[in-house]
Structure 1
Amino acid sequence: MKVLVIGANGNTATRLVRRLAQGAHDPIAMIRHPGQRPKFDDLGVPTVLADLEYPIDHAVAGCDAVIFAAGSGGHTGKDKTVLVDQLGAIRSMVAAQVAGVGRYIMLSSIGNDIHSTSPIAHYHKAKAHADNHLVETDLDYTIVCPGGLTDEEGTGKVAISPDLHGRGLTSRENLAEALALCLDHESTIGKTFSLLDGDVPLRDALVAL
């Protein structure tokens, strides 16, 4: 399966690209700057230059699946967050539909709510609007909502729940593995779930959805 990874230069997404490249799928890393290309060249992964603030139809064309793992970053203001995490995400969904891409996996977050009053409410609201839009499309979607991200070694064991307002931590390695495995598990289609580090083998948790 030819898989476009949007936001491929991010910490979690780079792990995801590496994991996909080692498996049965063919990732394409969507990046914003040519300077980000060398590390993907080293992985033998092709890249495509595109910016979520502009049309990305050329990046999506010919792909079988899209994994949205982009984010405006923790140091940007509300306007940039809306441009990337909400409007950019929706732009990618439209591009996927136009291109006939069937599968779309969204890396989201625990706590997203259009009525959020959290200290980062602008982020949670933007992500919630994007998630809500995705659910209303005809894409075969999965929305994965991790907790606080860590760089701890992945254990391959998780806790998956429909409760999107819990608290906990998620290793980036476990998250990357989960995003990759969603491509191979039809049980995840049409599902939104939280993903925390836990005690259940990841494959078993996904099959049980």
Structure 2
Amino acid sequence: MELVNCEEVKGRRKKIKERGQWNSNIEFLLVVAGNIVGLGNVWRFPYLCYRNGGGAFLVPYVVVVVTCGIPLFLLESAMGQYTQQASITCWEKLCPIAQGIGYTGVIMRVYNCMSYIVILAWALLYLCFSFYAKLPWASCGHTWNTENCEDFDALNKYNQTINSSLTSPAIEFWERRVLAISGGIDKLGSVRWEILLCAIAMWVICYFCIWKGVKSTGKVGV
């Protein structure tokens, strides 16, 4: 009969007790809501609806949400609450042979975080530009504008016909000032230092939002 090491058992229990816990149910619900409602819901979803049939797109979307999305979300939350482990170590307790699912989920999360950080960097850059007395994307005449730049609001105000070859100052600010889109994939262009600094700032902010686990994540939630 195998003897149980009491000190080892006590150490395991102490380790479990020291694991962070939510301060309240409200924190947990807010963090879950923040995880569900992301940039994809606010930014990408209306565009997808428009491209895929408008209101008709909501029918298959609701069906998939009810039959797949909600059950998978409840299953994931139940696994985390039951095992009190992260996405990889929880599978070690439930089914060690299925740990690959946890690693796959983490890899997917890394790629998602990369894309979200870039979008947040763009948002931070626009926030910085919004403190200008005159918004740089509100009018033409800047160094990045072309001859085709035209203020559509002014044209609409005077009921003038809009030429299809014209571009708005907002589009030119985005494509030529922020992104500096090159002429092709063979022309990489230069590093956009402003976006790079904004991306670094967002990585730092996100790190400090989660560096203490549920204690700091719950205060983000709130």
TM-score, normalised on structure 2? 0.23
Which structure: larger Rg? Answer: 2
TM-score, normalised on structure 1? 0.24
